[in-house]
Structure 1
Amino acid sequence: MGNPLSIMIVGQIGLPIFYTTVVGYGAIMAGISKEITGSVTYDPTLLVVKFTTYLFAIPILIAYAFTMLNTNIFSNVVPPVYDLINTFPSKLSWIRGVIIVSILGIAVGAWSLYLKGAYTYFDTWIAFISGLLGPIAGIIVADYAILRKFKINLHDVFVRKGEYTFYKGFNISAILTLIIIFPIIFSTQLHIPIPFSIYIYKMSWMSGFLMSIPLYLLLTKLFDKYKR
């Protein structure tokens, strides 16, 4: 089966290359559509149907479907399945984790936005997910890189009362950071008057990431006595 470490390294190197290729393909197709039709078309399936015959469209769309399936399995299914089975290792197997994640994915219904158009899908759904994940990434960087200097207490990771227990199992600083940052990012949707709110929302991942780092560091200093 090979060395697990080497397999992991190959996977980590290969995935960014594959994702970048897919994104580049989408950008090139959007640029081509601008030159040909005069307007940007984000959905490559529309271009295929419009500018090719059925003889060529069917195999191209089948290949595109497999590409999308492959991308989404790696990026949207595998990580949450690992999270679930690592959280409940005695109760969940890989198959059960996949089934649960698949059901949750269908229940979320992100695909329904696609029915309103590719631009609406990407602009709404991706911005929302970015707004959620950006602050979380900022908290992780602030805690691990800045506060802990890239050091991890491996023993305390697996004990109930250790360095990572924080306050009764909850990181108060992280929770408050998310509670404060989320309304700022989505201020346009919540009708909260904040300067440059539209730009904060459009760059939701980066703005959330940058705002969460200093805020988390400040709150950690204020709530240091509530760690345990």
Structure 2
Amino acid sequence: MNNITRICLWSGPRNISTALMYAFAQREDTKVFDEPLYGYYLKNHPEAHTYHPGADLILKSMENDGEKVVSMMLENTEKPVLFFKQMTHHLWNLKRDFMKKMVNVILTRDPKEMLPSFNKVIKNPSIDDVGYALHVELIEYFKTHQIPFVVLDAKKVLLNPKGTLQKLCTFANIPFDNKMLSWQPQQLKEDGIWAKYWYKNVHLSHGFIPYKPKEEKISEHLKPLLNECLTHYNQLITYSI
């Protein structure tokens, strides 16, 4: 594997995954990739392209063949550390054996804080859109195949960015870099073309925004989904560092 550390961050939406991508982008030894399987997902999911903003442009702008994307992830040697920001639902029917060659990190967030934010862009999300059940399923896959993994909880990251990132770097067997804690308030050249729909807060930030509890109420139509998500989230956080 050419001594390359390949990190896959398996996240749900609205889970500070972009902030973590920006953190790793500050490292001189690291190249970041923004959701390389998004095109594959939109092409193969029977409905996603009908409600994801900018779907047509996304499909035209990136590789739609999942196996080719996986080959790129395994063969790229541009930097000693490669960081792939991924959405877990983008794995749609894709073979998962490549994960044995990755440093696998699951990122989750309290659904009471995530769902209102996600619902503003994609209305009436399903359990498959938000990743919690898929994360639990992924953990079972990792355990069955003896693949090491770690879980990050967004709240813990925001409460203690340095401490949590130090633990993550130890797990990935790479040195921690203080540069990961701040960045310029601007877009990354690696941002996907969907950034204008999702990344506004990160583009305005200088680093991890200090945690504040969300006070936005859950809409009635989201409460059944919230209860379903909480069942899975409560399992996930038992693994968090």
With the length of structure 1 as denominator, give the TM-score of the two structures. Answer: 0.22
- Structure number with the higher helix fraction is 1
Bigger share in strand:
2
Q: TM-score, normalised by structure 2?
A: 0.21
Q: Which has the larger radius of gyration?
A: 1
The structure showing larger relative contact order (alpha-carbon pairs under 8 Å, at least 6 residues apart) is 2
